[in-house]
Amino acid sequence: MNKIAFTLGALLLPIVGSALAAPASYTMADFDKVEKIDAHLHLHNNSTTAFMQQARKDKFKVLAVNVDYADFPPLEQQRRVAIALRRDYPLDAAFVASFSMVGFEQPGWAERTVKGLEQDLAAGAVGVKVWKNIGMELRGADGKLLTVQDPRLEPVFDFTIKHKISLLGHQGEPKNCWLPLEEMTVNNDREYFKAHPHYHMYKHPEMPSYEAQMAARDGMLESHPDLRFVGMHMASLEWSVDELARFLDRFPTAKVDLAARMGQLQYQSNLKYEHVRAFLIKYQDRLMYGTDLAQSSEQSDALFNKDADTVWRRDWRYFNTATSFKVPELDQRVRGLALPKEVVDKIYRRNAEAQYPGAWQAAAKAK
């Protein structure tokens, strides 16, 4: 695979120099003292009590994201669990709604979908997720692949604009998706696409290219400048902080989350440490921490809690210390970035609070 081209260069040089005199960083001892938000995970099991106890212990508030995904419970169950989670933990949990594409070509689909989203909004939803099945899976009766630029999706986008809530977009996949397994840059991508070959685009040359997926997403954003857009998974530009910087410059109101792409960031910082660190400092107002954690049906509450605590602590080590340590996504050790406290506070909390205003407060105020 070609090495990542870094072109921020002169743009970031002043930041790199100033980083040497940056304010003190947090330490591992601060982990369970600093308020944090995991702005992308999936909490769809019937009981969330044990997990929320772990989250509170680790000083995390959560944003549960619903998605119509075959590996997850039905969307209606996710909705029911999310609403209960919001009701039971109004200061600690918020949720993002989603919608089914079943019958999208049938009369009344848009009206039914918007009605469902109105109910979600009334129950406390702070956003709507549009998933990769639009662009990578769904076809109309004419055999053509549906994209996010399809006019039938306009009522959903108009709904989020009208109500000033966020549209969370997962379009495309990691660029590794278009490579053979042995050429992928991180272990978790190899594992995922080996287990989900129908999404491994390298095996499906008849499907749109990575570039076509990104162009459709960007075209949608250009035609909807008022969207409060969040590009999930580093907006599928995880392979290059330069490309992500261009995206953020092109769409100045968009934010991105880092969920399930930490290995990609670490792969790059192993190659260009100061460059990646400078990127995070420059775009500190546009990035949100998230994990994409989800409890499998076979996983006990205790094991899921342990996994969450392990991931949260490992990611904290990467952002807040300069130590060298192992991560499962890479075979090489990773060096922590020791970011300034102010940068970490934004990535871990303030940016999410700004993107989802009142998300962890509204229900409590309504009492």
Cβ atoms of residues 17 and 278 within 8 Å: no
User: Of the candidates 157, 162, 102, 161, which has an alpha carbon nearest to the alpha carbon of residue 130?
Assistant: 157
Considering the domain boundaries, does residue 95 fall inside one?
A: yes
Domain that includes residue 330, residue range: 9-365
DSSP designation for 208: P
DSSP designation for 69: -
User: Of the candidates 262, 95, 278, 98, which has an alpha carbon nearest to the alpha carbon of residue 185?
Assistant: 262
Considering the domain boundaries, does residue 3 fall inside one?
A: no
Considering the domain boundaries, does residue 4 fall inside one?
A: no
User: Of the candidates 253, 66, 287, which has an alpha carbon nearest to the alpha carbon of residue 164?
Assistant: 253
**Domain total for the chain?**
1
Considering the domain boundaries, does residue 189 fall inside one?
A: yes
10, 147, 280 from 13: Cα distances, Å: 5, 39, 13
Q: What is the CATH number of the domain that holds 145?
A: 3.20.20.140
pTM: 0.92
Considering the domain boundaries, does residue 1 fall inside one?
A: no
Considering the domain boundaries, does residue 79 fall inside one?
A: yes
pLDDT tens string, the chain, 367 residues long: the values are 444 444 454 444 444 444 444 459 999 999 999 999 999 999 998 789 999 999 999 999 999 999 999 999 999 999 999 999 999 999 999 999 999 999 999 999 999 999 999 999 999 999 999 999 999 999 999 999 999 999 999 999 999 999 999 999 999 999 999 999 999 999 999 999 999 999 999 999 999 999 999 999 999 999 999 999 999 999 999 999 999 999 999 999 999 999 999 999 999 999 999 999 999 999 999 999 999 999 988 899 999 999 999 999 999 999 999 999 999 999 999 999 999 999 999 999 999 999 999 899 854 443 3
Considering the domain boundaries, does residue 2 fall inside one?
A: no
33, 34, 152, 204, 234 from 355: Cα distances, Å: 23, 20, 26, 36, 15
36, 221, 230, 284, 292 from 351: Cα distances, Å: 11, 20, 11, 9, 17
DSSP designation for 175: G
Two tokens at 149? 């630029």
Q: For residues 352 and 328, what is the distance between their CA atoms, to the nearest angstrom?
A: 26
